[in-house]
Amino acid sequence: MGGSLQAFIYVFLFRGIQTADPISWLPCKFTDEQVTSTTKGPETKHIPRRAVLQFGQKGDPPVDPAAVTFLITPSKLDVRRSLMGVDVGELTCELERYSTDGSHVRWPVKGEHEHNRWFALYINHSKAPLYVMAFIRQSTEQPPTGQHDYKSWAVIQDNVTLTASVAMVLQTKTPEVKSPLKSQPKLHCQFDIDHKAAKVTARWRKLGDRAFLFSYNSQAGLTEGSGAALKALAVGDATYTFPVTKVGSEGTYLCSVNVHPLLASLRVNLHIEEPPRVSLNVDPTLTLTEGALKKVVCWADAYYPRDVDMQWSQRGSTDAGPRVDSTQLSSHSYNPDRTFSLSAFFYLQPKLSDSGRKFTCSVSHRALSAPITKTFTLIVTEPGRWILVFNVVLLLVVLVLMLRYCLRVRRRRFF
């Protein structure tokens, strides 16, 4: 069958399950591995393969006989619970082999055979805040070879059906968290295991840091750090409540859960978004004398991240509000808390015809759902008559003084 025809049939089948309730199967990408030994060490070749994650009973026929079928049979865990209420058409499913790195441990839940092969399942949603990671367990009668399993992966044919079950699930409903400064966001992390009294180690750390923010070991009953509730951990809730956030809190955080020989981890990205405080250096009504020069400043202060857009516009009684072309921007300045400040200013020298004109400063930023605007109305007045009278009187006084001075000089010369 040609590749284009296969793709057409596959898309057709996928569309057929978008309204299924509950989900009966999902198309997946299975990344297989081929490991070869070289003089420089083992080299891994990743091979993308078409696969299906199918839910049912042992012996069910595959929905796509040409693909690798992972037939998930009922167990204590049902990964579909995490997918309830989401648009199936927006889900992405990926599978890969999971190496226990040479550690061969008898899993407490009895399987059809004595030994196990492990696969890692990753499901995320392109629009909804959801990320799920699960371990799929396939029991096998083939005993371990005594070496690292990745050195002798069992060959999986394209049309084979692997009957398996879900042994462990780790999920987050907050893969991306946006938080203002001085807040306490929650980084969600939930896990579930297919047997009770599992020896669990749950930890949180920031990517790039060695030290753990929080660590819990159920077997030893030891806890280090803070941020997660012990009562919640007992029922699989490892959600981390962040202390008061600052700019340096931004980054990627890892929630990891270890039940030997399985180690699952997921990432939660924390983004700091602090909105700007906007102000003007003038009152809502600005009164100027015709021809007077005034510097008008709009300040955006204490925002994060740095990107911000500031514009001055004007609107008269008839026109529609063009930008103020003479607007200038200052350089970004850094505040002690690592937030930013910026100002946009222009010089105003009005004419009488500008009276009644409105000037608006508009500030847009990632932390704002809509721009912040500050507006003032310009009132222009003529020079006062008292100023003219004063200038005339002053001129007359000067002339009188000059005349008296000249008369004195002439008298002295005469006598």
Domains of the chain: 3-272 (2.60.40.10), 277-381 (2.60.40.10)
Query: What per-residue confidence (pLDDT) applies to 8?
Result: 41
Confidence of residue 1 (pLDDT cuts 50, 70, 90): very low
- Identify which has the larger pLDDT, 107 or 214: 214
The model's pLDDT over 351-388, given as tens digits with 9 standing for 90+, comes to: 999 999 999 999 999 999 999 999 999 999 987 655 65
Its pTM surpasses 0.85 = no
User: What 3-state class would DSSP assign to 150?
Assistant: helix
Confidence of residue 233 (pLDDT cuts 50, 70, 90): very high
**Alpha helix (H) ranges present in 91-246?**
230-233
Least confident of 129-138, 152-161, 173-182, 334-343: 152-161
Query: What per-residue confidence (pLDDT) applies to 145?
Result: 63
Query: What per-residue confidence (pLDDT) applies to 395?
Result: 79
Q: The tokens 């040479």 sit on which residue?
A: 102
CB 252 within 8 A of CB 209: no
Query: What per-residue confidence (pLDDT) applies to 106?
Result: 84
21-40 mean pLDDT: 86
**Alpha helix (H) ranges present in 202-279?**
230-233
The model's pLDDT over 187-202, given as tens digits with 9 standing for 90+, comes to: 999 999 999 989 999 9
Least confident of 36-40, 70-74, 132-136: 36-40
60-83 mean pLDDT: 94
DSSP E strands: which ranges in 8-90? 25-38, 41-55, 68-72
The rounded distance, in Å, linking the Cα atoms of 373 and 315 is 14
